[in-house]
Amino acid sequence: MSQGNQYKGFAGWLEKRLPIISPADHFFNHYPTPRNLNYFWNFGAIAGLLMGLMILTGLVLAMQYNPSTLHAFDSVERIMRDVNYGWLLRYLHMNGASFFFIAVYIHIFRGIYYGSYKGQREVLWILGVVILLLMMAIAFMGYSLVWGNMSFWGVTVITNLFGAIPVVGDTLVTWLWGGFSVDNPTLNRFFVLHFLLPFVLLAVVGLHVLALHQVGSNNPLGIDMKGPQDSISFHPYFTMEKLFFIGAFFTIYFLVVFFAPNMMGEAINYEPANPLSTPEHIVPEWYFLPFYAILRSIPDKLGGVIAMGGAIVILALLPWLDRSPIRAARFRPIFQVMVFIFVIACIILGFVGAQVPADPFTIYGVEVFFGWSVLTVGQIFTAAYFGFFVLLPFVPLFERPRKMPRSIAEAIDGHA
Amino acid sequence: MAEQVQDDSKRDFLALSAYVTLGVGTVAGTLGILSSLTPSADVLALASIEVDVAALEPGQAVTVMWRGKPVFIRRRTAAQIDEARGVALGALKDPQTDADRTIEGKEEYLVVVGVCTHLGCVPKGQKDSDVRGDFNGWYCPCHGSHYDISGRIRKGPAPKNLEVPEYAFLSDTNIKIG
Ligand code: HEM
Ligand code: FES
């Protein structure tokens, strides 16, 4: 028995045979959106767009790239010099990774500040942490493909981290390399994984969005929508607002691509990989710096590795560590201060990760923190980073929440 | 109609054999895939090299590539050997005597893998113009590990001494590494 459906023409015909029209319709046209979303709610969409752009530029780059230690570096230079618009593709891809991380880091900050991991959003949040881990793996392996000297030594140092694992460490590292050092087998497998994992990422992002549509968006007040007076239709209101903001964000991105494409890169990566010559100072890409700083702050090799991994994984525990029923930081005076300290710790750790441990700590050449060494400053802010998570469960015991409106509509219109 | 006789043991046999085949197959397949990623025969075949050190004067060093890694060969002066022997074991993070790290009768030559045991950088100290660190051996600039003239870790985050590869003197001045 074939039933009619509400869709007309081809859509109705297809829906009868393949039920994809109604979920898509629900997805795009029946997603009640809180009225009070602010600009922080744009970074998810931006991250998604950038992911699409990374896959697109990555695919065409891969058609020109040669994943062999003998030719990798030259093939990237060939892309830059000889391939039509190759420089543009590569600079879009290279800086796209940076802006992808900018968008995702702001997106995560938004989640923490407004308590978006609460209210049945645990799975949504954990999928987000999985996305972050995947992005890191992808970006790390992508950077190795260039086969510059920083690529080579970055891969060497990071893969060696696994050697800290007791008993199996050394065997594991040899297995990862497919040899006794970072070499052709390593580059080959990294290329395959760098190609594959973005599509895994795409699937996880799909689940992330599915979970979002199941639970609904949080909002700056952190209060659930109680009825139609609290929401507006996503389209056209938020579509327009997002288009505007996306335009602004991409303008900045393109300014960097066209006028300062190497601003966030390391000059040493324009030298071919040399297994005999370690650069004076190995620095990862900026988006890894806070975690690299945490690694180096712990004087023990294994301890450092655990702390670095833990710094990311602990994010997944937030829904259980935060025991307050109130979501938005604006109603939680202590939590609000803690989030700001946490963000400052992340930023300072970023500076720490870029500097030599024994030197005095500076920010753009200025000695802050009384000339303490980079190592000391790193240890203090590593403690602050983890302190945030350790103190979190106890905050509700002594925090007095600020007065909250009863609904979103009340906060905006003055009546519910 | 004949009475239906249930013999569960046949079903159990089917289920059990299916599970066992699935289990064994999965494990065997996984091991095969994992093992395909370990160093292949051609990589292993490159695993030993011969080096002629006849041209090396006392105090000089050469770097050769072995298994994709640098190997430091240093012909040490008498003073350097004395220095290496004079260190008390108690002062070492990874206690080893200089004799443990050299071949008897050939103590002049120190052969070590030039890879920092911390995170794998190549320490400085092979060239005359290099910094040698606080213990006059090698210095790893990556996170500041200092090695002595026996390649032993003396200061910094590295946990172990520079690795001494398996090697032998084929003749007076010919070394086989690996
Ligand atoms: C989530 C998406 C992705 C991220 C975050 C990412 C990240 C990166 C990064 C950081 C680099 C190094 C850029 C440089 O310093 O030059 C890179 C290079 C590369 N990526 Fe990706 N990538 C992504 C997706 C892809 C995809 C889907 C492909 C192929 C299908 C791809 C192919 C390549 C190639 C061939 C290179 C080497 C050429 C170059 O350096 O520009 N990427 N990637
Ligand atoms: S790699 Fe040598 S000190 Fe870290």
pLDDT reading at A164 higher than 90: no
| Chain A residues lying within 8 Å of B115, measured CB to CB | 181
Mean pLDDT of chain B: 89
pLDDT in tens, A226-263: 988 999 888 888 889 999 999 999 999 999 999 999 99
Q: Name the residue with the closest Cα to ligand 2, atom 3.
A: B143
Cα-flanking dihedrals φ and ψ of residue B154, to 5°?
A: -120, -25
CATH for A36-413? 1.20.810.10
A144 or B129: which carries more pLDDT confidence? A144
Are A379 and A297 in contact by the 8 Å Cβ rule? The answer is yes
Output the CA torsion sign for A159, B164, B144, A342.
positive
Taking the mean position of all CA atoms in its chain, how far away is CA A113?
16
pLDDT in tens, A99-143: 999 999 999 999 999 999 998 999 999 999 999 999 999 999 999
Percent over 90 (pLDDT), chain B: 55
pLDDT reading at A2 higher than 50: no
Q: What is the pLDDT of residue A3?
A: 58
Structure tokens at B164: 């001494």
Angstroms from A178 CA to nearest CA on chain B: 4
Q: What is the pLDDT of residue A1?
A: 37
Note the pTM of the prediction, 2 decimals. 0.90
pLDDT reading at A301 higher than 90: no
pLDDT reading at A319 higher than 50: yes
The single residue listed with the structure tokens 């008390």 is B88
Neighbours of A64 (CB within 10 A): 15
Q: What is the pLDDT of residue B48?
A: 83
pLDDT in tens, A113-123: 999 999 899 99
pLDDT in tens, B46-81: 778 899 999 899 889 999 998 888 999 999 999 999
Closest chain A residue by Cα to residue B127: A277
Structure tokens at A121: 């959003």
Closest chain B residue by Cα to residue A305: B119
Q: By the CB < 8 Å criterion, does A179 face chain B? A: yes
Nearest to B157 among A177, A183, A301 (CB): A301
Q: By the CB < 8 Å criterion, does B38 face chain A? A: yes
Angstroms from B6 CA to nearest CA on chain A: 40
Stretch A364-372: mean pLDDT, rounded? 88
Angstroms from A379 CA to nearest CA on chain B: 15
Give bridge partners of residue A233 from the DSSP assignment: A32
Stretch A299-303: mean pLDDT, rounded? 83
Q: What is the pLDDT of residue A24?
A: 85
pLDDT in tens, B8-31: 888 899 999 999 999 999 999 999
| Cα distance between residue A376 and residue A370, in whole Å | 11
Are A148 and A270 in contact by the 8 Å Cβ rule? The answer is yes
- Do you find a cis peptide bond into A290, omega within 30 degrees of 0? no
DSSP structure class, residue B87: S
> Measured in angstroms, how far is the CA atom of residue A143 from the centroid of ligand 1?
7
* Nearest ligand, measured from the Cα of A50: 1
- Spatial CA neighbour of A55 closest among A194, A204, A189, A248: A194
**Do A174 and B39 lie within an 8 Å CB cutoff?**
yes
Most confident of A93-102, A266-275, B33-42: A93-102
